[in-house]
């Protein structure tokens, strides 16, 4: 990635719905911040392309946002990762994400062998 992020992100491992060209699929998000997501996606996405994403914040609140593809990893390697920037995220959702990112601690699920917030809540 050649651009520096404007807002911090936090590692996650959760399902994300992606609507691209009228086709809906479920993939995974690996980073989340109030500015966007890092996802894996099997189909081709181009820089500048707009898509719709649905995801949960802290496993509780459902969010829907239009996003623009800002970067991608090497398309010859699998999986391909895409950096998405939110274009119209609701202010309340932004605040939830900001608090989620700021609340990182040693008890983070990634540091304790949990693969997701759903696993952490169940544990």
pLDDT digits (tens, 9 = 90+) for 90-100: 999 999 999 98
Residue 59 has pLDDT above 90, yes or no: no
Q: Which residue has the higher pLDDT, 82 or 123?
A: 82
C-alpha span between 59 and 118 (Å, rounded): 6
* Of the candidates 42, 34, 38, 52, the residue with the CA atom closest to the CA atom of residue 93: 34
CATH code for the part of the protein at 10-122:
2.40.10.220
With pLDDT > 70 as the criterion, what percentage of the chain qualifies? 80
Q: Which residues contact 101 (CB under 8 A, 6 or more apart)?
A: 7, 8, 9, 10, 32, 33, 34
Residue 72 has pLDDT above 90, yes or no: yes
Predicted model pTM: 0.78
């Amino acid at each position: 990635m050649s651009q520096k992020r404007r807002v911090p992100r936090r590692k996650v491992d959760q399902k994300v719905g992606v609507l691209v060209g009228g086709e809906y699929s479920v993939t995974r998000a690996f980073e989340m911040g109030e500015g966007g997501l890092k996802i894996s996606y099997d189909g081709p996405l181009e820089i500048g392309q707009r898509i719709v994403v649905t995801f949960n914040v802290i496993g509780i609140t459902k969010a829907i946002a239009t996003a623009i593809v800002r970067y991608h990893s090497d398309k010859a390697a699998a999986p391909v990762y895409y950096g998405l920037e939110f274009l119209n995220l609701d202010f309340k959702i932004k605040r939830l994400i900001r608090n989620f990112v700021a609340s990182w601690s040693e008890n983070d699920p990634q540091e304790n062998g949990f693969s997701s917030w759903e696993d952490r809540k169940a544990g």
